[in-house]
């Protein structure tokens, strides 16, 4: 892309529901102490922050590694992906290995609703921040961890990074089955999926606390969740146990999704995505291609028949669609009310006119990083609205302010900074 992309200036949003914007979001007033780093945890807390929570990002003196991990930045420690993942948060630097740094965190926890971490529970215990520790400090606190592996299994102590989880959980195997090539899904699928899951798990615990008044420990293991999501699509006939398994044997891997023809159709001059699930859609397609007799064909006439003959059905479609151009198909499919869509390049996505209409990409001004393009929150809440955007924090940008809010006076803050138990930019 170039800088002519149809982004809007913040404040120009006309997204549906924006009438309620500015009232602060459904999590306004919720305070989150965020010990996470890199992607999965910061993504979970980004979601909480995007919906109004006051997320306090607690960083070690070296800062979140995510500040340095991606290769485009205007300033060291403010890499582009960090900027997206940490918007709407504040940053405090504490050295939790120093007693005074730990004590400052405890002071923050007394006034907080949620603590989120993404290291292993035993590492939290070494920091004297186990569930028992924090529950004694603040019984209303929700203690939420997103980490690699459930603590009741033999991989409990293993580290976990997104590519390893894609390899272990079947993402790579699925790509191999579909394409013959051992590749990752080309984004941080495990980090992103589990970040979304952690966001709902934390919010469920907040909802439950509204009824019981007490916090609880929430654990979100990444490996198990990734297997769960993918196997719900691919457990196939292995979903059946016992003697009479449909098809005769328990097989894993949905043959439809792994079929060589489950892909955007290659037309004479490009690619096209087309959906032909319902009988109405399929029968309209048979008319369009001049094969009305297929409406009563036992292999293709009904949804159940097409599911049972998925390979033949996908092959038939691929063969017919290859004969004509994209323009031809868009024309006739539109006339027949058959759902279809183009394959957009990343540049086309960025320039998509619908996304411009709703203002998904927004130009914003960051205090230290200058003019940025940020990705808006597309979900709308008619009553709660949405918080205003604020730029991702510099390392320790809010150390003094957050300590003040926690009851530290100026000399106490100065002492913490002098000892290195806390850090702040000059």
According to the binding rule CB under 8 A, does residue 11 interact with a second copy?
no
Nearer to a second copy, 79 or 94 (CB): 79
According to the binding rule CB under 8 A, does residue 197 interact with a second copy?
yes
The Cα-based distances of 77 to 46, 74, 258, 426 in angstroms read: 18, 9, 41, 16
How far does CA 392 lie from the centroid of its chain? 18
* Contact pick of 122, 157, 278, 367 for a second copy (by CB under 8 A): 278
Q: Tell me the closest approach of the beta carbon of residue 146 to a second copy, in angstroms.
A: 9
Which residues have a Cβ under 8 Å from the Cβ of 296 and sit 6 or more positions away? none
According to the binding rule CB under 8 A, does residue 336 interact with a second copy?
no
According to the binding rule CB under 8 A, does residue 173 interact with a second copy?
yes
* Contact window for a second copy (CB under 8 A) among 1-9, 92-100, 325-333, 393-401: 1-9
According to the binding rule CB under 8 A, does residue 132 interact with a second copy?
no
Binding residues for a second copy restricted to 79-98, rule: CB under 8 A: 79-81, 83-85
According to the binding rule CB under 8 A, does residue 390 interact with a second copy?
no
CB atoms within 10 A of CB 277: 11
* Contact window for a second copy (CB under 8 A) among 89-97, 101-109, 159-167, 403-411: 159-167
* Contact window for a second copy (CB under 8 A) among 95-103, 292-300, 305-313, 410-418: 305-313
- Dist CA 265 CA 274 (whole Å): 8
First-residue to last-residue Cα distance in the chain: 37
* Contact window for a second copy (CB under 8 A) among 104-112, 220-228, 293-301, 410-418: 220-228
Angle of the 171-179 helix axis to the 222-234 helix axis, nearest 10:
30
Contact 376, 361 (CB under 8 A): yes
Place of tokens 């510099």: 394
Nearer to a second copy, 106 or 227 (CB): 227
According to the binding rule CB under 8 A, does residue 41 interact with a second copy?
no
Phi, psi of 92 (to 5 degrees): -125, 140
Which residues have a Cβ under 8 Å from the Cβ of 132 and sit 6 or more positions away? none
Binding residues for a second copy restricted to 52-81, rule: CB under 8 A: 65, 68-74, 76, 79-81
- Dist CA 28 CA 211 (whole Å): 18
According to the binding rule CB under 8 A, does residue 179 interact with a second copy?
yes
* Contact pick of 10, 127, 137, 274 for a second copy (by CB under 8 A): 274
Residues that bind a second copy (rule: CB under 8 A) add up to a total of 178
According to the binding rule CB under 8 A, does residue 253 interact with a second copy?
yes
* Contact pick of 11, 110, 136, 233 for a second copy (by CB under 8 A): 233
Q: Which residues of 334-349 are buried (b: 16+ CB within 10 A; e: fewer)?
A: eeeebebeeeeeeeee
Question: Closest Cα partner for 198 from 122, 162, 147, 150?
Answer: 147
Residue 1 burial by Cβ neighbours in a 10 Å radius (0-12, 13-18, 19+): middle
According to the binding rule CB under 8 A, does residue 157 interact with a second copy?
no
* Contact pick of 96, 107, 127, 196 for a second copy (by CB under 8 A): 196
Strand duo 142-147 + 361-366: pairing: unpaired
Collapsed DSSP state (helix, strand, coil) of residue 377: coil
* Contact pick of 110, 266, 268, 299 for a second copy (by CB under 8 A): 266
According to the binding rule CB under 8 A, does residue 208 interact with a second copy?
yes
Nearer to a second copy, 111 or 255 (CB): 255
Q: Tell me the closest approach of the beta carbon of residue 408 to a second copy, in angstroms.
A: 29
Q: Tell me the closest approach of the beta carbon of residue 235 to a second copy, in angstroms.
A: 7
135-139: Cβ within 8 A, 24+ apart: 135/215, 135/217, 137/106, 137/109, 137/110, 138/109, 138/110, 138/112, 138/215, 139/214, 139/215
Place of tokens 């059946």: 240
* Contact pick of 120, 234, 283, 394 for a second copy (by CB under 8 A): 234
* Contact pick of 60, 61, 107, 161 for a second copy (by CB under 8 A): 161
* Contact window for a second copy (CB under 8 A) among 97-105, 160-168, 288-296, 399-407: 160-168
Q: Tell me the closest approach of the beta carbon of residue 43 to a second copy, in angstroms.
A: 8
* Contact pick of 117, 147, 223, 300 for a second copy (by CB under 8 A): 223
């Amino acid at each position: 892309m170039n800088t002519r992309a149809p982004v809007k200036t913040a404040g120009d949003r006309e997204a549906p529901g924006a009438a309620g914007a500015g009232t602060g979001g459904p999590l306004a007033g919720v305070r989150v102490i965020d010990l996470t780093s890199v992607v999965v945890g910061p993504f979970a807390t980004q979601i909480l922050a995007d919906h109004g929570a006051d997320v306090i990002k607690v960083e070690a003196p070296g800062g979140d590694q995510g500040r340095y991990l991606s290769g485009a930045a205007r300033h060291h420690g403010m890499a582009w992906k960090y900027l997206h993942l940490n918007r709407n948060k504040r940053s405090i630097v504490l050295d939790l290995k120093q007693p005074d740094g730990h004590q400052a965190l405890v002071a923050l926890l007394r006034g907080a609703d949620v603590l989120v971490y993404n290291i292993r529970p035993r590492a939290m215990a070494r920091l004297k921040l186990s569930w028992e520790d924090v529950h004694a400090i603040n019984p209303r606190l929700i203690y939420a961890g997103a980490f690699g592996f459930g603590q009741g299994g033999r991989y409990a102590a293993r580290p976990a990074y997104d590519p390893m989880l894609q390899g272990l959980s079947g993402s790579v195997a699925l790509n191999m089955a579909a394409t013959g090539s051992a590749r990752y899904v080309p984004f941080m699928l495990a980090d992103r999926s589990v970040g979304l899951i952690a966001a709902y798990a934390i919010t469920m615990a907040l909802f439950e606390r509204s009824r019981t008044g007490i916090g609880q420990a929430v654990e979100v293991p990444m490996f198990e969740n990734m297997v769960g999501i993918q196997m719900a699509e691919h457990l196939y006939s292995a979903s059946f146990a016992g003697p009479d398994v449909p098809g005769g044997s328990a097989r894993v891997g949905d043959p439809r999704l792994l079929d060589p023809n489950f892909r955007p159709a290659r037309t004479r001059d490009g690619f096209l995505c087309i959906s032909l699930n319902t009988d109405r859609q399929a029968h309209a397609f048979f008319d369009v291609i001049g094969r009305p007799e297929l409406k009563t064909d036992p292999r293709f006439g009904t949804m159940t028949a097409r599911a049972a003959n998925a390979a033949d059905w996908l092959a038939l479609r691929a063969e017919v669609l290859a004969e004509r151009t994209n323009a031809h198909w868009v024309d006739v499919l539109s006339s027949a009310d058959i759902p279809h869509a183009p394959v957009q390049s990343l540049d086309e996505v960025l320039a998509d006119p619908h996304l411009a209409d709703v203002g998904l990409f927004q130009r914003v001004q960051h205090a230290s990083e200058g003019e940025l393009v940020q990705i808006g929150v597309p979900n709308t809440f008619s009553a709660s609205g949405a918080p205003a955007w604020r730029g991702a924090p510099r390392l320790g940008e809010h150390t003094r302010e957050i300590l003040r809010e926690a009851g530290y006076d100026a000399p106490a803050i100065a002492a913490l900074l002098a000892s290195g138990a806390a850090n702040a930019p000059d």
